[in-house]
A = this chain, B = another copy of it.
Amino acid sequence: MKVNGESLRSIWRDNGSKTVKIIDQRYLPHSLEIIDLNSLNDFCEAISEMKVRGAPLIGITAAYAIADSMQKDSSDSNLENSCNSLSKTRPTAMNLFWAINFIKENLYKINSDIRADKASKLADQLAAEDIQKNKAIGQEGFKIIADISEKKNKETVNILTHCNAGWLATVDWGTALSPIFRANREGLKVHVWVDETRPRNQGGLTAWELANEGINHTMIVDNSGGHLMQRGMVDAVIVGSDRTTSAGDVCNKIGTYLKALAAKDNNIPFYAALPSSTIDWNIQNGLNDIPIENRSSKEIDHISGLDMDGRLETLRIYSESVKSLNPAFDVTPSKFVTGIITEKGIYDPNEEALRQAFGKK
């Protein structure tokens, strides 16, 4: 998608040096910092410290990490160790494990002397597929927005989104924002309510993406969405997902569940948009079976921003003695989900519909 009019991706390989480059998203929206990842440790830290975030991008970053690691040592033991280290970076995002398993299975089958090249090609392939899938999610989800637009006589469609499930959370296009980017490019009038999404305020990333694409949007605190829905100011909710069960329970950024409840109470459709690699076919019950990451309390009691001189600073906003708990995700039970927008179509959030669509027994 566009940044200051130029196309940019969240992760790419430098044409000349072949070094993997990412946007260090911790400095956005204040500053666009591009950094190199040169070692397994660089990659692991990029994921765990959330220099990259968003389930699809985490998966692709892991793929590039293995490719980088194989170039240095393509032995079985290094493959095993690299995959193990990457698996421990973040516990919730399904795409991380999906990508690691996909690459690992393919590399174990072949001789170690051709692994480096193969790993590199597979990472590029996954990145290319991610873009294609997210573009397809946009095309499928576009139909929902177009339908609402039609019913509103082409008046502005108001969509609420939580966290950042835009192109920064993937390689390009995004998941929840992809239908919105598409709708905007197709000339529909859209306006986005952007949840600021505490504690990391990833709403700032969403606003930055939307501004760069010239899409009308308004920042709100996470507390406001229910009130806006009660007042008829929201036509649909679209969010991403870090892991979705085969029965359609949607695990996503903490607070998503509250918006799903409010959407239900106000008869507003609530969609999760995700590539099928986000679906965990081994579990049904999201509340019981998805591990929820607890992150540092520093994410709650410290915050960064620009001071009066435009310098990036960090402040402590609560007393040092205040204890906090910081679960990063919650689970929205399938009964509150209107549909799952995937690269292949929009499906009901249930076992039968999802397994049939993706040919999973």
Contacts and interface: CB of A to CB of B under 8 A. Distances in A.
A300 B221 contact: yes
Contacts of A196: 198, 300, 318
A319 B206 CA distance: 12
A64 B327 CA distance: 44
A76 B107 CA distance: 89
A313 B313 contact: yes
B255 A223 contact: yes
Interface stretch (A119-127, A169-177, A301-309): A301-309
User: Which size bracket describes the interface of A in this complex?
Assistant: 35 or more
A287 interface: yes
A261 interface: yes
A325 B303 CA distance: 21
A88 interface: no
Contacts of A223: 197-198, 222, 253-255, 258, 330
Interface in A133-170: none
A219 B29 contact: no
Interface string A184-208: 0000000000001111010110011
Interface in A308-324: 308, 313-319, 321-324
Contact of A261 (B262, B322, B325): B262
Contacts of A203: 318
A319 B257 contact: no
A219 B300 contact: yes
Interface string A227-253: 110110000000000000000000001
